[in-house]
Structure 1
Amino acid sequence: MPPNASRNASDMTGSYHELWSPRGGVRPPWRRFYGHLAGLRPAQLDQRQALIARQIQENGVTYNVYADPKGSDRPWALDLLPQLISAEEWAPLAAGVAQRARLLNRVLGDLYGEQRLLHERLLPPELVFGHNNFLWACQGLRPPGDTWLHVYAVDLARAPDGRWWVLADRTQAPSGAGYALENRHIVARAFPDLHRDLQVQPLNGYFQTLQRTLSAGLDIGEEAPLAVLLTPGRYNETYFEHLYQARQLGFPLVEGQDLTVRDACLYLKTLSGLRRVHAVFRRLDDDFCDPLELRTDSALGVPGLLEAVRQGNVIMANALGSGLLESPGLLGFLPGVCQALLGETLALPSVATWWCGETPVREAALARLAELVIKPAYPAQGFEPVFGKALDTEGLAELRARILATPHAYVAQERIQLSQAPVWQGGSLQSRAIGMRVYAVASEDGYWVMPGGLTRVAHEGAAVVSMQRGGSSKDTWVLGGSRAAAEVPGARVLGVRDLVRKDPFLPSRTAENLFWYGRYSERCEDAARLLRIVLSRYLDADDGGPAVQSAIDLATALELLPAGGRLAEQLHAALGPGDFPSGLGANLQRLHWAAAQVRGRLSPENWRAIREVEREAHGLGQVGSEPGEALQSLNRLVMALAAVAGFTFDDMTHDESWRFLMIGRRIERVQFLAGSLAHFLEGGATWDAAGLEWLLELGNSIITYRSRYQAAPQLIPVLDLLMLHEHNPYSIRFQLHALINAVEHLERYYGLPRDPALHDAYDRLRRFDLATLENTLFGDAGRIEVQQGLARLLRQIAEASSQLSERVIYRCFAHVDAVSQRTVSM
């Protein structure tokens, strides 16, 4: 391994290097780790980096970059090598972060309270009141326990002299803690022995502390506390982290439409009715949280939420209005504020920052404009930082004129030379600029600092660290020291009285998405099986044959193939995600959307199966006109969908979530099987062995038939297996029986109005005598009449299951009562 590449890069930049000392030696925290690296071949390190990439892919770790051509599922970028910090260096750093969190918590309390800092001119009123995140509606608000910042993050950078400086405070809805924990899980597997031997301090205490803080924040007597995680939805760039944190905390992941305010109290809309919410861990920006009092065009918030907070009926983490502190213009005033509020010297200094709203400061900044970085004082301005050294004379003059025109809107900041850290890329060690984000969480004993954090890595040649601009990340290891310092008190002990056998907090929207996830997964599997039958028979038959035509006719009747045109053209339209809305490609897109909505209810392995379906669907859409290639792609897709079905049946707890998913699957399977059999009976190939064979294949029952009858397929035993068999999960009777049992549960517990149509159809099917197909008084004419009558019964079963779907949607998801349902159906 060539370490000199990294050493030379360090010498050229003149910045602090995390690995190399100025004399070229390895720094103490890195010596053991570097010694391990020196004993590995480049191919071995490449293999471990590939392992990390594979785990990220399998775990579905994503970071969505807006307008990224890769779409909304851009894989998270993680370097193989962690950032190493000794316990001796970490201790004062963590103390400084905790002090800073205490200080900013007090600042928020003052600015929305007595405003002593403004009266004493410790903070300029223009900088505070001019900020778009100063929420006038929150004036006078006092959160429970005077805790405004339940979570806090700070962006740090190391200067060339080795000191850590604050670049920015993150106080509104800090992101990255979930990614930090996921990074730890992945990188620790790449270096398990080193992780253990170096006594890396654990991160889990952050989430345990946050969970306990939010659960114990309100005095609610004997009532069980309910905390939720509020997300703007799956298109947010850090949506993976929202899911991850909700799972770590055990909080329901909700969107604004899942919540409602009644009598100044916040409630979660669940299948069982409204459930009181006591705490909200929000990942939604301040002004989007309440369209009634804040941003009126927000479709993401909850009307009346601020009033519930104002009355002290719900905890908001972090408090509304906390985005005010993210203005870089405040950084220069914090040393004086710290002395005034805490009587302490600010331990963790900010990088030199000047707010241009003050005349002497502005003049000093303008005199050094070519050396500084100019940033917006308020986030609503929306322009990127401007590096003075990157501007020519004309550009500097233009920037100076803009600052003079609106000086209060600009902040000048000293440009810090970011430290360099080793990364493994292209088969060698290289150097990249890094910054570190550290997290603190409020606890009973003050702020607890996560021992580590998220190290962010700039892309090659960049001077700014940004994940949105293509940066990557590192795990952060705090080495050795007392592990007790990183631990938190144990969670409360759960006893028999705390046992829960049913999910009491299942949101109606989540249940609806599970229902449609079940329907789309079954719909895609059925469609893939039928299209595979069409394509395989087409390839095997020299003359087309009646079996091929009957399968094509069924696929066309079910609108899985567009009508008319050559078969190759029909298949191309059906398989691609184009303009054919009922085709397999379009339904695969719907399946992925529905799965993404309920990802928090799926195990990691289940989600990997969904991702495999997505990959096969993408490949299917790329298939050209070659039929053999399309058939292979369909074979792989059917296998992937079968894996999803297997996880549905065996991987999920059979609770209400699973029940609604299975109702969706069963409704879809009944409709498909009943419609397919009815169409087959109405056609002219009912006694054709080849047609009966593909019908058995469609019903996934060909092996059972062959092992039992050891004969060519014939109508009566085929109908028995696909229609009347009590133990075949692909028979209509089996699915109807299970569906009726599930419906009876909904009738008992959720007031689903009873409709006799499905029961009557099931009873008629159960009583049907297959002997009428062989013992008729009128020969072939009698058999045809029986077949037509059976086809009508199957159509009625499909219609009854469709009506059941509408009743479930109206009553359980839209919460429309029986009278309203009758009104809607008229």
Structure 2
Amino acid sequence: MTAEPAESAVWERYAARLALLEQVDGPPAPVADELAGPTGGTPPFELAETVRGAIDALGAGGLLTRRAAVRRHVRDDGLTYGTTAAGGGRWNLDPLPVVISAQEWSGLREGLAQRARLMDAILTDLYGARRLLAEGVVPPAVVLGHDGFLQVVDGIRTAGPRQLVLTAVDLARAADGTWTVLNDRDQAPSGAGYAMADRRIVARTMPRLYREAPLARLRGFFGLVRDALDAAAPPGTDAPNVVLLSPGPDSETAFDQAFVASLTGLPLVQAEDLSMRDGKVWRRTTGRPEQVDVVLRRVDAAWSDPLDLRGDSRLGIPGLVEATRRGLVSVVNPLGTGVLENPGLLPYLDDACGMLLGEPMTLPVARTWWCGATGAERADLDRLAECVIKPISREASEPTRFGWTLSSGELADLRARIEAEPWRFVVQEPLPMSTTPVIGSHGLEPRRLVLRAFGVASGEDYRIMPGGLGRVSVDADSLVVSNALGGIAKDIWVAAPEPEVGGAIDLHPVQAHLPGIAGETLGLSPRVADDLFWLGRYAERAESTARLLMTVDDLVADHFGRAASPGQVAMHTLHQALLTITGIPATASDHPADDLRRVLTDESLEGSVAASVRQSVRAAHAVRELLSPDTWLVLARLDNAIAADEDDEPLSSTLRQVLESLVAFAGLCAENTVRDAVWSFLDLGRRVERAQQVTALLRATVLDERSPVAEGQIIEAVLRTLDSVITFRRRLGARHDTLTPFQLLLELVVRDPSNPRSVGFQAERVESDLADLGHPELVQVAAGLRQSVADADHDELSGEGRARLAEALAGWNTDWRELSDALTGVFFVRKAPQHGFSATAWEYGEVE
């Protein structure tokens, strides 16, 4: 008999690892495996069998290749979790999908829709008639003792048929294999954007499997979200202006927020972009303010209004509660929805469903006891070692604890805390949970799975995303599933009853909600315009510095050992120019190469290429929703090129990679950006920076007269830095007049409006950009600067020992700086903080 291929051992080893989980002391053994089935044998349905077949075909080596591909795609897409603007951690995604049959999903979908209706009814009741409390269905202390219950919003109703617009529910398998609710995440549900991003990456990583699988697609869900937001607008609003309120690029789920904004066509705003006037919410723009009708918030309710809620918040809008009370703006989900995330409600949901909906609850919940109950309903504190112990409020400093991980002393202390304040805690039976395979370094490894399902109000009912966000534990024997602790994400594939046509990778949906006419866009806030402007500036600064570095590196290689030669004069001149322009002090080393590597890679030096790249990435994260997805591919490669530089490798190799990425980024901006305000501010930043870099380079290199040979070397080095040497040689060879090489240099890089590297070209572009932005006063300023450069006479500038040139360059440098300051004063005036700031605002200000 022929021996089986070694790759067939992948499933054998996985089955062995599943068996080992049943022998682990502590958490209950998993009830099933989502791919292998309840016994590790035949997969339960066709799609699972198809995925398993693909795994067999790939083998161990192919699986590792797919894992590496996913990590590359995550990096290239800029998919992050954590403080992204500060370079937070990459999203951790496994290539193998979790598959759910159409039949099983049909029942789960109905249960989720009913649960959404129930939560909507509970929310309406708790901030309205409060029958649940008055009739004793829910103990009042469960609600009134929860941090998410906000008395200040009592009686406020959002327009539309549903108060609860968006829902999220965390589920896991119970002992009987049924999907069971662990938690509700209804305050400001996060993760739908990650689910869509996961789908796109897995589709690219496993393209054949994805194309052939009969899957329900995700893209339509985000269109339903936009429809629901429009439906929540105050009555009489014909074309609602909807914004997504974010804590900012430093929040953990900043990627998710920006991606959802992109998928739904919403402007992503922060508190400083919004203001109150006449009791209404307005979005500040570089033009006229725009009234906001609906706020989709990703800021925790307690931080959303520093007047009526937390006074130390900088994340909210002063007066937002009153504006919602007066019906002048709708907040989704409504302020106060956090009370639904109270696990103390779980024991009472069956009775609440009967009262409010007149029907039994179909989707089971993990068995839970509220410790404040009395009699038979009270938790048995003698069983703490077998249970999960949770505070009823997520805002509390009390963490969730797993009894079997605690020592006897810790259990005693915890019991004492519960007995002292029983209303603050619940005790929950742990679910065995199911496992799903992830690709590890040594083959497939089982991990416990939690599914986050998403719903949206649609008409009189709810529609559920056909899939969701899968998350698995870091360790096979752990029930803790947390992104913050390094959890792994999984794409959830729901089999469609009928194969969907096309099989194309899910991309951004076509938006039917964009403003009125073709080419019209919403105005940009001063913060966004400022970030775009500085993205352009920092990217150009990095490129200009890298080009100068390349020139100096070549000169050092050619002339370092040739003492007092014209080439060495040029080398020293350009080396000093590099240090002067970047503001980086020279090292004590005798060799210029030591300075060059610092200028390229030392992020702590403000003028270095690495620092400019870091600032570019930070600015790009702040305006992520406005940029092409390809931006992150370019920036990732740029960052990697700098990080991979080695001291024993030639600097020129890293410089070439850096320049290639920077040129690619410039081309991406030029070719992929619609010529609207986004383009204008990006281009303004690039043009202002380039003009200042050119004038600084000329001031640092050509003001002193030198021998003809040395001057020729310096002129050529300047032209190479400005990518103009070929044009210079062509023109010099074609001229029959009396222009000297130095005069031709000035004509080419100062006056020539056809040279994209000249000061004159930058002035013309700035004038054009300002005209597009509709600011005639600044257009006149730019026109005067353009004319000043155009009127410069090369004979005059090259005479009198070049004193006139020095004077002109200094004047233009001042003019460009003053123009930049004027742009700031007109377009980029930021909203001053209105309240004190607490350092903990970033910790608690955004809902995970």
* Structure 2 residue 619 is matched with structure 1 residue 603: no
Cα gap change, 1:703 to 1:511, in 2 (>3 Å): same
Equivalent residue, structure 2, for 1:778: none
For the 8 Å contact 2:453–2:465, the answer to whether it is kept is yes
> How far 1:24 sits from its partner (Å)?
4.5
CA distance in 2 between counterparts of 1:23 and 1:282 reads 44
CA distance in 1 between counterparts of 2:579 and 2:14 reads 63
**Range 289-298 or range 16-25, more displaced:** 16-25
> How far 1:451 sits from its partner (Å)?
1.2
Aligned residue pairs total: 793
Equivalent residue, structure 1, for 2:352: 337
Equivalent residue, structure 1, for 2:764: 737
Map Cα deviations across residues 471-517 of structure 1 (whole Å, 9 max, x no partner). Answer: 101111111315799xxxxx999699942323233222111111111
For the 8 Å contact 2:705–2:801, the answer to whether it is kept is no
* Structure 2 residue 383 is matched with structure 1 residue 368: yes
Amino acid at match of 1:645: A
Equivalent residue, structure 1, for 2:794: 770
Counterpart selection for 1:418 from 426, 433, 439? 433
CA distance in 2 between counterparts of 1:165 and 1:714 reads 80
Cα gap change, 1:583 to 1:350, in 2 (>3 Å): same
Map Cα deviations across residues 113-143 of structure 1 (whole Å, 9 max, x no partner). Answer: 1111111111111111111111111011111
CA distance in 2 between counterparts of 1:185 and 1:200 reads 13
CA distance in 2 between counterparts of 1:90 and 1:573 reads 57
CA distance in 2 between counterparts of 1:224 and 1:582 reads 47
Map Cα deviations across residues 13-40 of structure 1 (whole Å, 9 max, x no partner). Answer: 2422223345542132222332333333
Counterpart selection for 1:481 from 497, 505, 510? 497
**Range 17-26 or range 254-263, more displaced:** 17-26
Amino acid at match of 2:578: A
Counterpart selection for 1:635 from 656, 673, 684? 656
Regions of 4+ moved over 6 Å? 491-497
CA distance in 2 between counterparts of 1:505 and 1:46 reads 46
For the 8 Å contact 1:561–1:571, the answer to whether it is kept is no
For the 8 Å contact 1:267–1:275, the answer to whether it is kept is yes
Equivalent residue, structure 1, for 2:187: 172
Amino acid at match of 1:582: G
Amino acid at match of 1:288: W
For the 8 Å contact 1:517–1:664, the answer to whether it is kept is yes
* Structure 2 residue 424 is matched with structure 1 residue 409: yes
CA distance in 2 between counterparts of 1:306 and 1:275 reads 19
CA distance in 2 between counterparts of 1:716 and 1:754 reads 29
For the 8 Å contact 2:234–2:329, the answer to whether it is kept is no
* Structure 2 residue 691 is matched with structure 1 residue 664: no
Counterpart selection for 1:83 from 78, 87, 98? 98
Listed as ranges, the gaps of 5+ residues in structure 1 are 486-490, 774-782, 817-826
> How far 1:558 sits from its partner (Å)?
2.3
Equivalent positions of 1:511-590 (< 5 A) are 511-541=529-559, 542=561, 543=563, 545-562=568-585, 565-566=588-589, 567-568=592-593, 570-571=595-596, 573-577=598-602, 579-590=604-615
Cα gap change, 1:409 to 1:752, in 2 (>3 Å): farther
Equivalent residue, structure 2, for 1:118: 133
For the 8 Å contact 1:180–1:475, the answer to whether it is kept is yes
CA distance in 1 between counterparts of 2:510 and 2:54 reads 41
**Range 395-404 or range 85-94, more displaced:** 395-404
**Range 693-702 or range 581-590, more displaced:** 581-590
Cα gap change, 1:528 to 1:23, in 2 (>3 Å): closer
For the 8 Å contact 2:160–2:231, the answer to whether it is kept is no
Amino acid at match of 2:273: D
Map Cα deviations across residues 670-727 of structure 1 (whole Å, 9 max, x no partner). Answer: 1121232234332234841111110101211122223444599931222222122231
* Structure 2 residue 804 is matched with structure 1 residue 789: yes
Equivalent positions of 1:66-145 (< 5 A) are 72-145=87-160
Amino acid at match of 2:66: R
For the 8 Å contact 2:96–2:438, the answer to whether it is kept is yes
For the 8 Å contact 1:230–1:253, the answer to whether it is kept is yes
Counterpart selection for 1:456 from 471, 495, 503? 471
Cα gap change, 1:563 to 1:208, in 2 (>3 Å): same
1:408 match: secondary structure? helix
CA distance in 2 between counterparts of 1:51 and 1:436 reads 24
**Range 29-38 or range 265-274, more displaced:** 29-38
Amino acid at match of 1:87: A
CA distance in 2 between counterparts of 1:515 and 1:663 reads 6
Q: Percent identity?
A: 35
Equivalent positions of 1:90-489 (< 5 A) are 90-145=105-160, 147-218=162-233, 221=236, 223-360=238-375, 364-460=379-475, 461-481=477-497
CA distance in 2 between counterparts of 1:342 and 1:304 reads 35
For the 8 Å contact 2:159–2:234, the answer to whether it is kept is no
Equivalent residue, structure 2, for 1:820: none
Equivalent residue, structure 2, for 1:690: 713
Equivalent positions of 1:671-750 (< 5 A) are 671-685=692-706, 687=708, 688-709=711-732, 714-746=741-773, 749-750=774-775
2:171 match: secondary structure? strand
CA distance in 2 between counterparts of 1:298 and 1:397 reads 37
Equivalent residue, structure 2, for 1:824: none
CA distance in 1 between counterparts of 2:707 and 2:697 reads 12
> How far 1:754 sits from its partner (Å)?
6.5
CA distance in 2 between counterparts of 1:331 and 1:146 reads 25
CA distance in 2 between counterparts of 1:593 and 1:708 reads 41
RMSD: 2.8
Amino acid at match of 1:59: D
For the 8 Å contact 2:454–2:468, the answer to whether it is kept is yes
Equivalent residue, structure 2, for 1:4: 12
Equivalent residue, structure 1, for 2:846: none
For the 8 Å contact 1:573–1:579, the answer to whether it is kept is no
Cα gap change, 1:148 to 1:222, in 2 (>3 Å): closer
For the 8 Å contact 2:556–2:593, the answer to whether it is kept is no
CA distance in 1 between counterparts of 2:375 and 2:537 reads 67
For the 8 Å contact 2:586–2:595, the answer to whether it is kept is yes
When normalised by structure 2's length, the TM-score is: 0.88
2:272 match: secondary structure? helix
* Structure 2 residue 58 is matched with structure 1 residue 40: yes
Cα gap change, 1:741 to 1:466, in 2 (>3 Å): closer
Cα gap change, 1:502 to 1:388, in 2 (>3 Å): same
Amino acid at match of 1:742: D
Amino acid at match of 1:720: E
Tell me which of the two structures has the higher relative contact order, counting C-alpha pairs closer than 8 angstroms and 6 or more residues apart.
2
When normalised by structure 1's length, the TM-score is: 0.91
Amino acid at match of 1:653: V
1:52 match: secondary structure? helix
Amino acid at match of 2:611: A
CA distance in 1 between counterparts of 2:40 and 2:467 reads 26
Equivalent residue, structure 2, for 1:617: 642
For the 8 Å contact 1:272–1:504, the answer to whether it is kept is no
**Range 506-515 or range 630-639, more displaced:** 630-639
CA distance in 2 between counterparts of 1:443 and 1:368 reads 43
Listed as ranges, the gaps of 5+ residues in structure 2 are 1-7, 23-28, 502-508, 832-848
